[in-house]
Amino acid sequence: MNKDTSSRLDRRIRAGKLNRADIVRWLGELAFGRANDCVRLVLEECPDLDELELSLLSEVRRSDKGGVEVKLIDRLKAVEALSAAMGADDGEAAEFLKALKGGGEP
């Protein structure tokens, strides 16, 4: 999720104007987003935090010996939540996911 999307989402949440489409879009970005900026955070000497998209970042640890551990969110949980949010809209999403898993009709 880019910075603009995150800001718009935050404003909509505060205003009570968040809808299912917003949630599905956000969960999709969490489930399938890129972690490049999370890596840049620990590799660059002075990263510009305002320019980094860190919504996938869960935890960063730096050891006393210089090692770095980057922990990201659980993407499987994001996919499951996305599936549930899509399935709550109608049965088509659930049928589609079932077919992807091999449980659909031939």
With beta carbons less than 8 A apart as the criterion, state whether 97 and 83 touch: yes
- The pLDDT of residue 65 is 93
38 shares its domain with 68: yes
92 shares its domain with 80: yes
At 54 the three-state DSSP class reads coil
Q: Is the pLDDT confidence value at 96 over 60?
A: no
3 shares its domain with 14: yes
CB atoms within 10 A of CB 41: 17
Q: Is the pLDDT confidence value at 30 over 90?
A: no
- The pLDDT of residue 61 is 92
- The pLDDT of residue 18 is 73
Could you tell me the residue range of the domain that residue 99 belongs to? 1-33+74-106
83 shares its domain with 66: no
Q: What are phi and psi of 72, to 5 degrees?
A: -100, 165
Question: Residue 36 — very low, low, confident or very high, per pLDDT cuts 50/70/90?
Answer: very high
Determine the distance from the C-alpha atom of residue 99 to the mean position of all C-alpha atoms in its chain, rounded to a whole number.
Answer: 24
39 shares its domain with 28: no
Total domains in the chain come to 2
78 shares its domain with 104: yes
